[in-house]
Structure 1
């Protein structure tokens, strides 16, 4: 990941095209730096062609009077004068393409060289890393340079094109860099008296505050080598004079200033944050010191780069940026890693085409394509007919609740005109549920730590049975109310297997199913007689209740709960309101949807469809907020009449935000490709029981539970003394700490896993981008610590994270 040092100023040099003078101009920078820096380093990561024509040799040849200070190096050298990806393949030979260096190996090699340069001296140093060709020229693996170098996040100098067509090439290259978040500190190009590209570019980039510098072009290459050598050296003496004046030295001063300003900005951010920011879910009295503020400088893939310059032990040779694995998937949103280039391009594409446009009575292609996809092939397949767009999961849930309560009111009252007690409607749900922090969403949960003074809990919530893994065994823990029905002294029942616990259809005829059914039926009968609210909707977080403590609810209980409420007789059957029975059922899939749990939707696991479902978070790959509420046709018809007041009068300024819709479409396309990847297939296989024959998720109705976390790792965790129980599905790993004072207000999980956050050298860190020691940024819910992966986290990185977690918990035993 990103590297930043106090006394080593690093810039990578990209070219707007091939043959734009990248090496000549970088040589001028190196030569000028040798006058003002204690040491100067030049790195050409990849060189192709004969040694005598190599760029690193050229730089050393014309380094000038202070050449002793200049240190040049090439990491990967190939004899064939072709593109790096072809040169690497030719060098590997036929049938040995697996020997071509991977992007991770390539970037780690560059990062290690940068660190070695930082260690060599405590004085001011400059390092220039010259890339090959243009910004999108391929690296050794075939990945374009912009993508391959991005984890390093080094400040950039763009060498512009001074030739005919160079204005367009330079601007396009700059926008490609900017689109991927690169910091472009300067654009440098030759001065040409005929095309005068630099004049235009200086004016064009003035508003963008990008420094544009131009330098006299070198003389034409002379046919005589000795004459050419003399002319070239004379050229460098003119543009980099010993007097240290002129455009090149001005540019050196600008680059140094950019470096120092970045350091000052990072240094000042903690204090400014404490003076201005109100964090969510944080008691500020506990975090008053500047060291308590995590300053995230950049993020790439699954990793943050955080500023640690205030660490007393840090020296000038240590990077001021620390690597932290994003162990909470940034509050469950990340699905494809940070700064995914395809999602950034999708956002730019829609922003450039639409910006934002009004949505009522209008349509744009991104929204239409997304709605059709979600309804016909997504989580709404087979039951939903309408998609309603909103801003985030909480507002999406408020939409869902409005839909359900109106549908119930229309049917139970015999018509819209006679709805007189609609404010006495309530919901049915589960204890520990959470649907967001807007007032309406909070009203659909029992009173708890997340609710506010204005909150009014409007419903009844069952305490659910929970599935977990203890000492390697899959256990279903019953609440006391249900255990009493079974006259069970021990509320914990051992499941036949992990897969069996999620085979709801097989379990429907078991004695436990009958116990659940009887308990729910009796409870609802009592509610009907004495509860002040009329239950008008069932609201569920299917399979996992996230904010409530990563509670993995027994799917059999939720399935039977749906079956029972749908069996409630309809007292006022009306024509046109068929399609649902009993009360409407809402699935809050904001957290669990789109393969967060290894399946596109929880519907196949439960074996039953909702009437309304809500989707967000993974929907846009973690890039933008967007929510979609899906509804059946019968729910939609409850709002259908000739009166405006009967419509769903709910909306948001950014309804169906085109940028969000386009990013969502791109996200779902990428996920479709991941589903058939080797890493997914291998992860599934590790969770297959011997009795199972297939783990092909492409089969409709597949309910095979699996996880990206290794099954043996989960079992080992569950046997640790410090751990009460563990659970994992898809990307989610939940660890409940053995703690007498359990609950949300406990600090046990935070305390026992505190060491995971520390950046240490684990010995396996070559798997991590940049190859440096790393910590794990994670969140806790009282006595529960949870960790989350992206859908494309490389298995090698997952194994490293597993080992870090295991080592930390083992040391506490």
Structure 2
């Protein structure tokens, strides 16, 4: 990941095109840095063409009188003067290797990062480094990936060499915008002063408005065929642009130094400034001891944050780099689907922002929203039952929309049966431990708990559900006291995890009948007792996240739905009966737990479902509430008052909808890819496996962790891993999981040597819910990364139990 050193200022040099003078201008910068008595490192990661034309050789040749301070290197050198991806492919073919043996992006970036770290470790005084890329910003690297994406994990401050030729204004601006779209910080733009096209005259004020400095330098003389004469002419040129008396190039070098110093100063100031102004969510500020407790995220890429450690260095050994990778072990509160800063999602956001900005949506349409609604209703989680999509801004809002839909549908059908005032008192039926968001209405759909507030008014009844986990290598269904028989321990060993999730095969079992009888009896008692009517069944299918990563026995949820629906008569076969059923799939939906929707596994479809988080790949907030036609018709009429009067200013904002469509495109490709197939096969299934439960976490790892002396139980589905620790004071307010696993926050390499992009050791950022720690991958997290995290977790648990 990104590297930052106090003593070594690094800049990466990109070109607006090929042959724009990157090497000439970079050589001038190297020479100016050396003339200012700084040690200078020059790195050309990839060089193609004859050795005599190599850029690193050019830098050495024209380093000038202070050449002893210059260290120039090339990492990958190819003889053919071609694009790096072709040159690497041809070299592999000549050696009898296959395309797959061309260095991957991760190998390539690790080599660059390793060279940078070695260079930094060799200096104690202020030094400079320039990393020169090849061709234009989108020229391919060895693997064929565009340079902007391949180098992005390093996130190095950038110098853009503009194009001084005809068309250069456009290519320079386009290159700058391409860099911006991927988050690069452009500190300087350099180009030659062409007196005919005069591009610098236009570009200087253009970029000044954007806070970027532009400098134009005289161009070098034409290359002379006589090598000795050419050397003398070129040396005279460098002497002129880097005079011993100082001048323009030295001012540019000072500007780059100032940019480096400002970045360091800002990062160092951020912890204290944060403690002065920010009110964090879900954080007890009274437990925050000082700046060292602030996690400063400088950037993010893929599965990793890049965090600043300069404010924590006094408490531990000072690392070589002030930035280090930290695995985003909670997928940033369950939002990340494709890793951070995914280029396709970023471009989708820019595409929609450029076309629409934001446009109001009532009685209007635009293509991103329409496409999203159609694919979710017809081909996505709503396939076969949903008729409409209501697009809002986040999961909590989406759930409030769902509650409005369900309660209105119930009151319209049962209006004649409701006593005066009962419509305003209707409640919901659900499960203990459920959580549907932090807005007041969503809170009211849950029982009293740690997430509720003074205004909270729990409206409904919540069953204590049976749960599933792996304990001491065995799959166990834990029954609450209300379902346990004869005061015996409420734990039943299951045949296997696959058996537990084979819901149709369990519907005729004695346990299913016990569930039915208990649910019917409970509902009958509630009716006999009187009180406000229940107008909706609200479920987090399979996994209740914020309530403690509770993996509910799917059979219980299926039987609950069946019993509720059997207590009423639908007006037509496609309509709801009993009460509308809401699936809150904000957390579990869209493959977070390995399936697009939980409905096929449960064997029943909801009447309303809510989707968010993964929907936009974690890039920005968006939620969609899907509803059946029967629910939609409950709002249809001649009066505006009977419409669904819910919305916000950014309803169906085009940027979010476009990003959601792009996310779903990428996810669908992943779902049929080799990585998912391999993970399914490890769990005894394949893409067409009937049961459909699997995980990215290894089954052997789950087995061994479940037997650890400090572990109560573990569970996994899809990307989610939950580890519950033994703790007599178990509960949300327990600190046991955070305390026992805190060493994961320390940056080390795994025992297998797996490291973050760039080859750096990494720490793990994870979240806890009392005595439970959970970890979560993205949908495209490499298997090697998952294995490395497993190694780290097991090492900590093993030490704790020793």
Kept in 2: contact 1:155–1:185 (CA 8 A): yes
TM-score by length of 2: 0.98
* Partners of 1:67 and 1:224 in 2: CA distance: 24
Alignment of 1:624-635 (within 5 A): 624-635=620-631
1:333-367 C-alpha deviation (Å, 9 max, x unpaired): 00000000000000000000000001001000000
The reply on whether 1:568 has 2:567 as its aligned counterpart is yes
Give CA deviations for 1:713-752 in whole Å, capped at 9, x if unaligned.
1111101001000000000000000111111111110011
The answer on whether the counterparts of 2:190 and 2:215 sit within 8 Å (CA) in structure 1 is yes
Corresponding residue for residue 291 of structure 2: 290
- On the 8 A contact 1:577/1:637 being kept in 2, the answer is no
2:38 equivalent in structure 1: 38
Aligned-partner SS, 1:482 = coil
Report what 1:507 is aligned to: 506
Shift of 1:703: 3.4
Is 1:234 the equivalent of 2:236? Answer: yes
Of residues 706-715 and 308-317 in structure 1, the stretch that sits farther from structure 2 once superposed is: 308-317
- Rounded to whole Å, the distance in 2 between the matches of 1:695 and 1:267 is 50
Question: In 2, Cα distance between the equivalents of 1:439 and 1:705?
Answer: 34
Contact 1:157 1:188 (8 Å CA) reproduced: yes
Q: Which residue of 2 aligns with 1:602?
A: 598
Residues 473-518 of structure 1, C-alpha deviation per residue, up to 9 Å, x if partnerless?
10000000000xx325121101111100000000000000000000
Runs of 4 or more consecutive aligned structure 1 residues displaced over 6 Å after TM superposition: 313-317, 575-578
* Distance in 2 (alpha carbons) for counterparts of 1:560 and 1:46: 62
Q: Secondary structure at the match of 1:143?
A: coil
Select 2:780's aligned residue among 775, 792, 805: 792
The aligned counterpart of 2:648 is 652
Q: CA deviation at 1:767?
A: 4.4
CA deviation string 1:501-541 (max 9, x = no partner): 00000000000000000000000001112152211100000
Report the CA distance between 1:249 and its aligned residue.
1.0
In the alignment, which residue of structure 2 is the partner of 1:695?
A: 686
Alignment correspondent of 1:581: 577
* Partners of 1:482 and 1:212 in 2: CA distance: 73
Q: Is the 8 A contact 1:404 1:584 kept in 2?
A: yes
Matched with 2:489 is 490
Alignment partner of 1:442 is 2:443: yes
Mapping for residues 247-262 of structure 1, pairs under 5 Å: 247-262=248-263
Task: Give the direction of change, closer, same or farther, for the CA distance of 1:19–1:715 in structure 2 (3 Å limit).
Answer: same
Q: What residue in structure 2 maps to residue 590 of structure 1? A: 586
SS at match of 1:58: helix
Matched, 1:426 2:423: no
Q: Residues 242 and 415 of structure 1: is their aligned pair in 2 closer, same or farther, counting only changes over 3 Å?
A: farther
2:369 aligned residue: 367
Q: Which residue of 2 aligns with 1:770?
A: 758
Return the alpha-carbon distance in structure 1 between the equivalents of residues 502 and 752 of structure 2.
37
Q: Equivalents in 1 of 2:106, 2:668: separation in Å?
A: 24
Q: 1:387·1:631 contact (CA, 8 Å) conserved in 2? A: yes
What is the CA-CA distance between 1:7 and the residue it aligns to? 0.5
SS at structure 1 position matched to 2:314: coil
Residues 422 and 532 in structure 2, CA contact (< 8 A), matched pair in contact too: no
Residue aligning to 2:729: 741
Work out the CA distance in 2 between the residues paired with 1:759 and 1:532: 56
Q: CA deviation at 1:112?
A: 0.4
1:95-146 CA-to-partner distances (Å, cap 9, x unmatched) read 5222211111100000000001111111001000000000000001111100
| Pair 292,322 (structure 1): closer, same or farther in 2 beyond 3 Å | same
Match of 2:75 in 1: 75
Corresponding residue for residue 459 of structure 2? 458
**Aligned residue in 2 for 1:15:** 15
Aligned residues of 2:436 and 2:442 also touching (Cα < 8 A): yes
Equivalent residue number for residue 522 of structure 2: 523
Cα deviation per residue 1:182-223 (whole Å; 9 max; x = unaligned)?
A: 010011000111111011011111110011111001111122
Gaps of 5+ in 2: none
Q: Return the offset for 1:317.
A: 6.8
Distance across 1 between alignment mates of 2:417 and 2:105:
64
- The answer to whether the 8 A contact 1:617-1:625 is kept is yes
1:424 Cα deviation (Å)?
A: 1.7
Q: Judge conservation of contact 2:23–2:132 (CA < 8 Å) in 1.
A: yes
Q: Name stretches of at least 5 consecutive residues in structure 1 with no aligned partner.
A: 689-693
How many angstroms apart in 2 are the aligned matches of 1:195 and 1:655? 47
Secondary structure of the 1:481 match is coil
CA distance in 1, matches of 2:213, 2:39: 25
CA distance in structure 1 between the partners assigned to 2:372 and 2:416 by the alignment: 35
Structure 2 counterpart of 1:407: 409
Q: CA contact under 8 A between 1:163 and 1:195: conserved in structure 2?
A: yes
> Are 1:709 and 2:697 matched, yes or no?
yes
1:767-803 Cα offsets, whole Å, 9 max, x none, are 4201111100000000100000000001111111110
What is the CA-CA distance between 1:604 and the residue it aligns to?
A: 1.3
Aligned partner of residue 296 in structure 1, secondary structure: strand
Matched with 2:328 is 326
Is contact 1:34-1:66 (8 Å) kept? Answer: yes
Cα distance in structure 2, aligned partners of 1:177 and 1:125: 25
How big is each residue's C-alpha offset from its partner over 1:395-419, in whole Å with a ceiling of 9 and x where there is no partner? Answer: 0000000000000000111499x97
In 1, distance between residues paired with 2:319 and 2:54? 29
Distance in 2 of aligned mates of 1:346 and 1:704: 31
Cα shift readout 1:369-390 (whole Å, capped 9, x = no counterpart): 0000000000000000000011
2:11 and 2:131 in contact (8 A); partners too: yes
Contact 1:271-1:290 within 8 A present in 2 as well = yes
What are the superposed Cα offsets for residues 212-256 of structure 1, whole Å, 9 maximum, x if unpaired? 1110011111222111111110000010000122x2111101100
Structure 1 residues 809 and 366: alpha-carbon distance in aligned structure 2, compared to 1, 3 A threshold: same
1:397 pairs with one of 399, 422, 442: 399
Note if 1:754 corresponds to 2:742: yes
CA shift in 2, pair 1:317/1:239, >3 Å: farther
What is aligned with 2:546?
A: 547
State the secondary structure of the residue aligned to 2:403: helix
| Cα distance between partner residues in 1 of 2:249 and 2:293 | 41
- Counterpart in the other structure of 1:476: 477
Q: How much does 1:288 deviate?
A: 3.7
User: 1:679 Cα deviation (Å)?
Assistant: 0.8
Conserved? CA contact 1:513–1:556, under 8 Å: yes
1:686 pairs with 2:686: no
Deviation digits for residues 614-634 of structure 1 (CA, Å, limit 9, x no counterpart):
000000000010000000000
Contact 1:48 1:87 in 2 (8 A): yes
Deviation at 1:605, TM superposition (A): 1.5
Change in CA separation of 1:766 and 1:500 when aligned onto 2, cut-off 3 Å:
closer
Q: Distance in 1 between matches of 2:754 and 2:511?
A: 49
RMSD: 1.4
Q: 2: CA distance between counterparts of 1:577 and 1:204?
A: 64
Moved more, 745-754 or 765-774: 765-774
The Cα shift of 1:655 comes to 0.3
Aligned residue for 1:691? Answer: none
User: Is 2:755–2:761's contact at 8 Å kept on the other side of the alignment?
Assistant: no
Residue 80 of structure 1 and its aligned partner are, at CA, apart by: 1.1
CA displacement at 1:314 relative to structure 2: 7.1
Cα distance between partner residues in 2 of 1:761 and 1:466: 35
Is the Cα contact below 8 Å between 1:767 and 1:796 reproduced in 2?
Answer: no
